[in-house]
Structure 1
Amino acid sequence: MRVRSLNLLQATTRFSQLRPRSTVYQSAKCASRWSSTSTSTSPSTERQWSTPLAKTLAEAITTTGPISVAAYMRQCLTHPEGGYYTRQTSSGQDQFGTKGDFVTSPEISQVFGELVGIWLYAEWLAQGRKEKVQIIEVGPGRGTLIDDVLRTISSFKAFANSIEAIYLIEASPYLQKQQAKVLSGTEVLKKSDIGFSGSCKYIPGCKIEWCEDIRLVPKEDTSTPFILAHEFFDALPIHVFQNIAQSSIPASSTIITPTGPIKPKHGVTTPKNTWHELVVSPTSPYSDPKTRTSSTSSIEEKLDFELTVSKTPTPHSLYLPKMSDRYKKLENTPDAIIEISPESLSYVSDFAVRIGGSNVVRSKTPASSASANNTTSQQDRFSKSQPSGAALILDYGPLDTIPANTLRGIRSHTTVSPFASPGLVDLSADVDFLALADSALNASPGVEVHGPVEQSFFLSTMGIKERADGLLKGAKDEETRRRLETGWKRLVDRGPNGMGKTYKAMTIVPFNEKGPLRRPIGFGGELVG
């Protein structure tokens, strides 16, 4: 969905020290007062909320009880009336770019999208020039990346002619119109069986389909799907768990679910340490403002919501932290915090099934993810006679560790509390690339995973410097030359102000049982075919 400017990405939020009754997130950096309005502590005065969505969420929580971080993120980002991506901005501008809240990699330099297009072409060649190709992008933003990708692909006529359809997975009707204007030259789209459709200005006769969920995109044995997920997984909801020492959870606790209370048949075991879910609840109207201290000033503000530790088990706390040996190794680490995104695992499993099929069950190892097994069983049994296609994932997160304390808010290119001005602030969290890889491998026997590798490595081996040098030679003025020079260097810079180290690339490609391992270009391989 999006990318932030790198200097903002370095300012990740962190949990404060766990208090006896609650835990709250703090920003590592803050340059200005957060925009949530303070509330009156007078019982006779109605509480003032920072946004209409904040009031809606608070009223719902008052009725049902605290909600998970995942539920909070989902409402803040996609609520139909006040969600960050589904609302229409008051100024008419979108959330992207220098006038929005964050800048994406394709916005920084056209070379980024061009190299992604070349990567797709190279993979198409390596797989034997397939004749029926689908291009799928999840979370295409305002269409800048896919526009550069399709413009590049149009230069390779044989590849362009093999593309049967382009699918854009987008939930926001406002962003759909912006994408249509960029790719089809019009905001007027035709109603289709899965959403809306329009023509592609770069590939004559090729249609573009817009839909809200990738599950609506048809799976076909003879189709070769090339899937792009750029700054998509970081915006998917996460559940947050903390390992509480000497947990007081009784052996058989009542669990409150949306359909009513349930009591486990065999009870819950009570180890020395137990995972508790961190949940979101409104702050007390009578509490003092939380104090944030930056390098220049002390900032006081009143947030609408805060994190608290669930006193009893939640349905997610009973199984998500137990689904992988990676989490189990932290069971004896008091106060350890982990973030898990089931929705991310579901999406990447869908990618894998489209590429490799799910008709054969992969043998499971002791370290295999239980959740990935569950995801596989939920997938439609899709038989694919020959694995084909690829998924390219570009996002930010650690190479090999479990994300913790990474939930952040971004507004006007500044890191803010994720609990400030719900619906007006972009929310994201680091991507767990190893969890994605595990889920992909367990969802399909016909795929293999390469990466993650740092973005600097991926783009450099794809030839970013050579392409940038070519553009610089044709630059007509000094301003264009300066923009091109700073743009491409920022994408590969591994320093604190660059994007080369923070951002990662990972790919899912077909598994070849009969031949040797083939590393894709950009991941240590060479151009073939």
Structure 2
Amino acid sequence: MRGNSFRLLRTAALRPQPRKPACSLPQYGIRWSSSSAERQWSTPLAKSLAKAIETTGPISVAAYMRQCLTSPDGGYYTRQTPGHDQFGAKGDFITSPEISQVFGELVGIWLYTEWLAQGKSDRVQVIEVGPGRGTLLDDVLRTISSFKGFAQSIEAIYLVEASPHLRSQQAKLLSGTEAVLQETDLGWKARSKHIPGCDIHWCEDIRFIPKESSPTPFILAHEFFDALPIHIFRAVPHSHIPASSTTLTPTGPLKPKRGPSSEPSPQWHELLVAPVTASSTTTTTFSTSSTAPPPSAVDDFHLTLSKAPTPHSLYLPRTSARYEALATTPDATIEISPESLSYIADFAVRIGGANPPPSPTPTTPSTTLSSPQAQPPSGCALILDYGPATTIPAATLRGIRSHHATSPFASAGLVDLSADVDFVALAEAALAASPGVEVHGPVQQADFLESLGIGERVAGLVRGKGKSGGKEEEEEMVRRIEGGWKRLVDRGPAGMGRIYKAMAVVPHREGVKGVRRPVGFGGDVV
């Protein structure tokens, strides 16, 4: 799960659409005060968060999301509630691999096509970040096992997972019902049931997986980035900043941009999370086109605008010209996920090697990235998630519980939180991190799956299922198979085939005439 397990296509069980509603931000200038001793909180985690805010003041949305999702004291993915499972029809959301086994099979075939196109490496490692219950990887490895050469090349499988509860579920599915995890220097391991002689390793952070002299990496991130914490910023047109304001950042000290003669000037301010109190002048509201019933839970928290720029608001919006271009647009809102940029940069370095580090200066600390790898660029990363193809996400923070949209600020730890993925930001970060990679996509999920032959695979699956069981059982099975794949490629306004996207990071090959597009992104196997 960022090292944590947030993934999988979260979508209402009966409608092919991502989690909604998106939060509608309140106007800036809200005052914050606390009276937590006088109120009851919806969950123990909400109470502990409120008490912490009493001491520190309002916290970033990123800090709030991180605690709600991965806190050891009741986080959504780290808590263990007997009889409750986040995934599936009986949980809070259903995933693409659970909608249809064909989804994971085609992802496995895509990895196989990349293995062929890159020369059939004899040393491969498979990495999945945020593997959920392991359903996707189970279908992927089962498919790969049919391609003997590819299967024999896999030396190790790595799962980045911080939740002990989910690690246990993954081990049972991927290693066998009686699987026992053995502790290692990295974390834990068990033997794969699909790839003979291959161990599956679990670790809590991708940084624990060695880079240098490692096998060719084949990386999967299925609905992982949407649940990584975000910061939310709003452009304030007339911001009064003290002349002495200076903030230390990873690239050195920063001062807010000031107008002539110290006049107020446009600045990014950060939207922060604070408890809802009797003295709050407004609370966060939501709008939705969903037919789901309105949430019954009362918000414990709401968004409030910082009175002055924060360290994050001085630093993060300056990392891209896309953000800078909106700085003078009054009330423009942007969402930035630094953890997402860090993860995609890690993927790129594993595939293509790192850019040479800049020479340290008094204001620029030396980089901690690994030196460029000695071997030629190789491997790939496949990202499957939802978000806009070209624009910057804004006001997309959302919650889901029991397949219904709900407020992200109610029932902390019991509600899944996510936000749209900024695919352009991911591409920029990957290209900036490594000289040896290129990025393809994003493309709509429907286009990706159809180019891999989802229709043909489903037709074959229907023919096979038609030979088992009685007529009623056969008809029900065919309905499930056909309904599942049609849901995955639905191009309607809220269809999964349109909203969900696929993006690939692959090696950049100098000297090759033209661009080799991967399968699913306008290309062929070779």
Global fold match (TM > 0.5)? yes
* Superposition pairs of residues 188-267 of structure 1, within 5 angstroms: 188-221=180-213, 223-253=215-245, 267=255
CA RMSD of aligned residues (A): 2.5
Change (3 A) 1:376 1:341: farther
Change (3 A) 1:299 1:449: closer
SS in 1 for 2:424: helix
SS in 2 for 1:522: coil
Is the CA contact 1:353–1:444 (under 8 Å) kept in the aligned structure 2? yes
SS in 2 for 1:164: strand
2:138 paired residue number: 147
Q: Look up the equivalent residue of 1:268 and give its one-letter code.
A: P
Q: Look up the equivalent residue of 2:162 and give its one-letter code.
A: A
Structure 1 residue 248, shift from structure 2 partner: 1.7
Change (3 A) 1:5 1:266: closer
1:48 paired residue number: 40
Structure 1 residue 402, shift from structure 2 partner: 0.3
SS in 1 for 2:239: coil
1:336 paired residue number: 332
Which runs of 5 or more residues in structure 1 are unaligned?
Answer: 24-38, 258-263, 363-373
Confirm or deny that 1:61 pairs with 2:61: no
2:487 paired residue number: 490
TM-score, with structure 1 as normaliser: 0.88
Is the CA contact 1:292–1:299 (under 8 Å) kept in the aligned structure 2? no
CA deviation profile, 1:161-213 (whole Å, cap 9, x unmatched): 00000000001000000000000113421001100000000111000000000
Q: Look up the equivalent residue of 1:443 and give its one-letter code.
A: A
Moved over 6 A (4+): 254-257, 291-300
Structure 1 residue 360, shift from structure 2 partner: 4.4
Confirm or deny that 1:12 pairs with 2:21: yes
Structure 1 residue 333, shift from structure 2 partner: 0.6
CA deviation profile, 1:37-91 (whole Å, cap 9, x unmatched): xx9x9x9x74210000001101111011111000000000000121000011232
Q: Look up the equivalent residue of 1:527 and give its one-letter code.
A: V
Structure 1 residue 473, shift from structure 2 partner: 1.0
Structure 1 CA distance for aligned equivalents of residues 335 and 459 of structure 2:
41
Change (3 A) 1:525 1:464: same
Confirm or deny that 1:392 pairs with 2:398: no
* Superposition pairs of residues 256-405 of structure 1, within 5 angstroms: 267-271=255-259, 272-285=265-278, 302-358=298-354, 360=356, 377-405=367-395
Structure 1 residue 514, shift from structure 2 partner: 1.8
After superposing the two structures, state which structure 1 stretch, 270-279 or 324-333, moved more. Answer: 270-279
Structure 1 residue 503, shift from structure 2 partner: 0.3
Q: 1:111 aligns with which of 97, 102, 118?
A: 102
SS in 1 for 2:267: strand
Structure 2 CA distance for aligned equivalents of residues 117 and 298 of structure 1:
39
CA deviation profile, 1:385-429 (whole Å, cap 9, x unmatched): 211000000000000000000000010011111101000000000
Which runs of 5 or more residues in structure 2 are unaligned?
Answer: 1-6, 260-264, 359-363, 469-473
CA deviation profile, 1:215-274 (whole Å, cap 9, x unmatched): 1011133520000000000010000000011112222237699xxxxxx97743334311
Is the CA contact 1:250–1:268 (under 8 Å) kept in the aligned structure 2? no
Confirm or deny that 1:456 pairs with 2:457: no
SS in 1 for 2:79: coil
* Superposition pairs of residues 407-446 of structure 1, within 5 angstroms: 407-446=397-436
SS in 1 for 2:245: coil
Change (3 A) 1:198 1:376: farther
Confirm or deny that 1:522 pairs with 2:514: no
1:506 paired residue number: 503
Structure 2 CA distance for aligned equivalents of residues 218 and 439 of structure 1:
21
Change (3 A) 1:458 1:275: same
Structure 2 CA distance for aligned equivalents of residues 144 and 293 of structure 1:
33
Is the CA contact 1:375–1:443 (under 8 Å) kept in the aligned structure 2? no
Structure 2 CA distance for aligned equivalents of residues 452 and 227 of structure 1:
16
Structure 1 residue 20, shift from structure 2 partner: 4.0
* Superposition pairs of residues 14-29 of structure 1, within 5 angstroms: 14-18=23-27, 20-21=29-30
Structure 1 residue 377, shift from structure 2 partner: 3.4
Change (3 A) 1:486 1:299: closer
CA deviation profile, 1:70-127 (whole Å, cap 9, x unmatched): 0000000000121000011232x32000000001100100000000000000000000
After superposing the two structures, state which structure 1 stretch, 218-227 or 425-434, moved more. Answer: 218-227
Structure 2 CA distance for aligned equivalents of residues 292 and 328 of structure 1:
28
Is the CA contact 2:462–2:478 (under 8 Å) kept in the aligned structure 1? yes
Structure 1 residue 294, shift from structure 2 partner: 7.4
Aligned-pair identity (%): 63
1:369 paired residue number: none
SS in 2 for 1:500: helix
Give the count of matched residue pairs. Answer: 492
Structure 1 residue 288, shift from structure 2 partner: 8.7
SS in 2 for 1:53: helix
2:91 paired residue number: 100
CA deviation profile, 1:310-336 (whole Å, cap 9, x unmatched): 012211111101111101110111000
Structure 1 CA distance for aligned equivalents of residues 21 and 294 of structure 2:
18
After superposing the two structures, state which structure 1 stretch, 463-472 or 488-497, moved more. Answer: 488-497
Change (3 A) 1:267 1:455: closer
Q: Look up the equivalent residue of 2:186 and give its one-letter code.
A: I
SS in 2 for 1:96: coil
Structure 1 residue 359, shift from structure 2 partner: 5.3
